[in-house]
Amino acid sequence: AQSVTQPDIHITVSEGASLELRCNYSYGATPYLFWYVQSPGQGLQLLLKYFSGDTLVQGIKGFEAEFKRSQSSFNLRKPSVHWSDAAEYFCAVGATGRRALTFGSGTRLQVQP
């Protein structure tokens, strides 16, 4: 069965600083990988996804993520964080033939002025 680990529960960065949120997955084959963002009291919005091809994926709001098979990782990055990026971020993995996604426990991002 697939699983997802987000080792950082809470991260605080200064506005304008770079950001990297870590995600490690466990799955026997090539996974489908996703990053979602959840603002307080809201549903989840898809930031980006990886299915195949180029391992560096561009998403919305200036985010990108890189799939590294050798490290079983799919870390989310942003070169310059904005105050509006403060939210909770979830990494998720999907498997071939399985319709539902498995989510990590989330990383809460706080942005300091």
Q: What backbone torsions phi and psi does residue 67 show, to the nearest 5 degrees?
A: -85, 120
* SS3 label, residue 85: helix
43 or 113: CB nearest another protein: 43
108 Cβ partners below 8 Å, 6+ apart? 9, 10, 11, 87, 88, 89
Comparing CB distances to another protein, the nearer of 25 and 34 is 34
- Taking the complex as a whole, the smallest distance from the CB of residue 63 to another protein amounts, in Å, to 16
Closer Cβ to another protein, 28 or 41, answer by number: 41
Q: Is the dihedral of CA 42, 9, 57, 71 positive or negative?
A: negative
CB of 82 to another protein, least distance (A): 23
The residues binding another protein (CB under 8 A) are 4, 6, 9, 34, 36, 41-46, 49, 51, 90, 92, 99-106
